[in-house]
Structure 1
Amino acid sequence: MSFWGLLALLFGSVEIYRASKCDIFTDLNLHHAIIGTNLYVKLLLYTRENDTCGQELSHYNLSAHPQFNVTKITTFIIHGYRPTGSPPNWLGNLKGELLAREDMNVLVVDWNRGATNLNYAKVVETTRDAAYNLTVFIRNMQENGASLSSIYMIGISLGAHISGFVGANFNGEIGRITALDPAGPLFNGKSTDNRLDPTDAQFVDVVHTDMDALGYRKPLGHIDFYPNGGADQPGCPKTILSGSAYFKCEHQRAVFLYLESMKPTCTSRAFPCTSYRDFLDGHCLECKFGSIGCPVFGYDVIKWKDYLMPEQMFYFTTNTQDPFCRTNYMLEIVTWNLNTIKSYITIRLHNGSEVTKATINHKASSFQKYKVTRLLAQFDKDLSNVEKISFKFSMGNTLQYKRKLRVLRIRLTHLERKDRPLCRYDLLLEDNKEVTFRPIPCEDSNF
């Protein structure tokens, strides 16, 4: 082989190596957390053409990265406090789901150097500098033709407030901020200049999953979701014996709920209400948002942008694990008993071999003669073409005299699909004894 051929082969190999080289998220450890880290912000680019191999972008020379198309939507993923220095375990899934939904630029904002420190207060101080770093980068994007409306920031914990600081630097002109359980410690009670608020972007949506510990309690966006009331997430450990999961499970649940929202097979409809108690009691089951009904939590909530006012609180409940989404029915019961009976309700819907269950036990429901009792029944999954219904009432006291409940009408109405309601008339129920029946079409009634 000639000298020039050898040279071409050599340099060609170098180019192939450079093209295949992937930049990765900074991986630190407890030693770094103990001694503390200084801020360094690394921006890792992923696209549909390059969805597994991150490329670190220059903050100042975007022309060096032809794969970064500033005319597309650019989504920044901004993590939070990293007390042990390890990379977030959800990062790859979130990046992948975003690219599956839309052809965009995904920028993983790696500020692990700065976020890793046992001194949480020191990390909070660093958030302003991280926000300034991103502000400079976005201004460079603008100079290269990017529109602020095309900027989407997803901030987790401290990352939510960093997103807010960036948005404030652009007078709220960036397109959207999604805040996944914004950090509460050292932010609760702060003025809007020192935390995320609705004026930081054209649309700010927030989810609260750990408001009584690591998360922020009060509304911060144009719409604020409080799954399971905003605390005590089902399936999370209840005692410290579970180790680190006890501290982080509820805080991280916001991320996993958001991840699921990008899957078309599982959506969570949320309802506006003044309190979680009123929501569970079935007092908030109607939504007047044009023709599109109650908002769906997560990625697609942007469709409700024009219908929302700042700091509205919306509630929904979840299952203990993936799939988290549940199905909502309005349950209406009319009884004949002379005396008021208080009891808990369990319902099962059957479709062949499939069964789904709803338990209404947050408090004892009250049944009075000829009075319609409306309850929210939340099933662990959705079933179409319901063939049978199993119904049980329980007074919750095994020592009490066994009572019977004379039901004049049971009516189940799906709150998301426009299915015909399911009814049954004239049932005699015995305390803690399940009765199974076939539903029939509902008749007009004065009850």
Structure 2
Amino acid sequence: MHKAIKNKSRLLCGLKNAKADLTTAKFILYYGPTVADSDIYDLKDHKSLLEDENLDLSRNTVLYLHGYLEDPDVESIHVIAEAYLERKDTNLIVLDWGELADGNYIFDAMVNAKQLAPELAKVLLEMFDHGLDIEKLHIVGHSMGGQLAGNIGREIYKRTKGVRKIKRISALDPAFPLYYPLGAHLTSNDAEFVDVIHTDAWLYGAPTSTGTADFWPNGGNSLQPGCPKRNYKMLSDNDLSSHRRSWWFWAESVSDRFPIRFDAVPCRSWSDFKQNKTVETCPPVVMGHHCPTSIQGNFYLQTNGQTPFARGKEGTIYVDPKELLENTHGYSCEPRHSIKPV
């Protein structure tokens, strides 16, 4: 468990500080074949990153932003990195803002993220001027990282007076507390296309549609299939299980190891999905990495309770969750190793 979570009572009471020192943020370029194979750069040294022999500027580039209380040593980063390393068409750069994402949620991490966004926007604009193709950049963020992604996209659009706009932002259960309903949260205007995966709505994750296309697997809230009952201990593994499902789903969608994808159908609500009432003007789509960027609206699906999570076409027809439970051999509350089936 991350060391910061062990001190969660101090964190939430504001007794531990993580004041903004933006120089602690780093870019990590993962080039494989394992997650140990990576190069690290200071934000101010982004020109050296662009000259790294392991960065192929002809490919698409993903910038991944982790969430609150996370750093490159946590499971989510390893799972995401391993998934992208299986692909041969994408560069993966992870922003390590672990020291800034620590401390009190309200007075440290949120404040730090707000200060970090303009700096990252400035750095990315300089990178665009030195060879990074904005048309091939895709920002993916989990939890507070999803909100940070939106803030970066907003800043780039603002600083260029609307001339430049990020092509795509994907937010994985973007953080809810204090961002909604009145906070400066992720919106569909932050990139040309913003897709959102909701897995813990109203608790740790965003409770409302907040992107161009919003996906609501299993209704989009807790408990996600296969997750243990909440123990109501804030930031514990049990409590975070549904929130974490978003990046498990994303990693599986990135990996071409699994032939079955996260098929989803357009519906006005989870209730309509359960009654097979779809919006006929929009065809079925897929959630995750392969999501088409021409769609908009709300999409629903069901998943399995363990890897592989995707159910393909079967996931677009509602079945009683008890049947899913019977078919997944008792579920593991979390997949145990990377994106490999358990």
- TM-superposed CA distance for 1:222, in Å, is 1.1
Shift of 1:254: 0.4
Q: 1:51 to 1:30 in 2, by over 3 A?
A: closer
- TM-score (normalised: structure 1): 0.61
The answer to whether the 8 A contact 1:81-1:120 is kept is: no
Q: Partner residue of 1:147?
A: 133
Aligned pair 1:169/2:169, yes or no? Answer: no
Q: Which residue of 1 aligns with 2:112?
A: 126
1:53 counterpart (37, 52, 56) = 37
Higher percent of residues as strand: 1
CA distance in 1, matches of 2:316, 2:119: 53
Q: How much is the aligned-residue C-alpha RMSD, in angstroms?
A: 3.2
**Aligned with residue 98 of structure 1, among 74, 78, 84:** 84
Q: Is the 8 A contact 2:5 2:69 kept in 1?
A: no
Q: Which residue of 2 aligns with 1:202?
A: 192
Select 1:76's aligned residue among 42, 60, 63.
63
Take 1:57 and 1:330, find their aligned partners in 2: how far apart are those partners?
Answer: 41
How far did residue 52 of structure 1 move? 3.2
1:102-125 Cα offsets, whole Å, 9 max, x none, are 433211111111111144443111
How far apart are 1:90 and its partner, in Å? 1.9
Of 236, 249, 253, the match for 2:245: 253
Alpha carbons of 1:49 and 1:326: their partners in 2 closer, same or farther (altered >3 Å)? closer
Task: Summarize the alignment of residues 193-232 of structure 1 with structure 2, pairs less than 5 Å apart.
Answer: 194-231=184-221, 232=223
The C-alpha deviation readout for 1:167-198, integer Å capped at 9, x for no partner, is 1112261121110000000011126xx11111
**Unmatched 5+ stretches in structure 2:** 158-163, 328-342
| Residue aligning to 1:442 | none
8 Å CA contact 2:230–2:239 kept in 1: the answer is: no
Query: 1:36 maps to what in 2?
Result: 17
For the 8 Å contact 1:70–1:141, the answer to whether it is kept is no
SS at match of 1:246: helix
**Deviation of the 1:86 alpha carbon:** 8.2
Q: Which amino acid aligns with 1:218?
A: T
- Bigger relative contact order (CA 8 A; separation at least 6): 2
Tell me the alpha carbon deviations over residues 249-287 of structure 1, each in whole angstroms, 9 at most, x when there is no partner.
011010101111123423121111111011111122x75
Provide the secondary structure at the position in 1 that maps to 2:306.
Answer: coil
With normalisation by structure 2, the TM-score equals 0.79
SS at match of 2:126: helix
Structure 2 residue corresponding to 1:276, chosen from 265, 270, 274: 270
The 3 A distance-change label for structure 1 pair 325 and 103 is: closer
Corresponding residue of 1:305: 293
Aligned partner letter, 1:127: A
- Give the counterpart letter for 1:240 in structure 2: N
Residue type at the aligned position of 1:320: G
How many angstroms does 1:100 deviate by?
Answer: 2.1
Q: Which of 173, 176, 183 does residue 175 from structure 2 map onto?
A: 183
Answer yes or no: is the 8 Å Cα contact 2:264–2:316 preserved in 1.
no
- Write the distance in 2 (CA, Å) between the matches of 1:327 and 1:61: 43
Partner of 2:339: none
Counterpart AA for 1:236: C
SS in 1 for 2:174: coil
Indicate conservation of the 8 Å contact 2:31/2:37, yes or no: no
The equivalent residue for 1:240 is: 231
Give CA deviations for 1:191-229 in whole Å, capped at 9, x if unaligned: 6xx111111111110001000211111111111000111
Identity of aligned residues (%): 26
State the Cα distance separating 1:27 from its structure 2 match. Answer: 7.6
Offset from partner CA, 1:358-395 (integer Å, 9 cap, x none): 95489xxxxxxxxxxxxxx98998xxxxxxxxxxxxxx
Point out the structure with max Rg over C-alpha: 1
Q: How does 1:332-371 map to 2 (within 5 A)?
A: 359-360=319-320
The 5-angstrom pairing of residues 106-117 of structure 1 reads 106-117=92-103
Deviation, structure 1 residue 129: 1.5
Q: Could you tell me whether the CA contact under 8 Å between 1:127 and 1:162 is conserved in 2?
A: yes
How many residues in Structure 1 have an aligned counterpart in Structure 2? Answer: 305
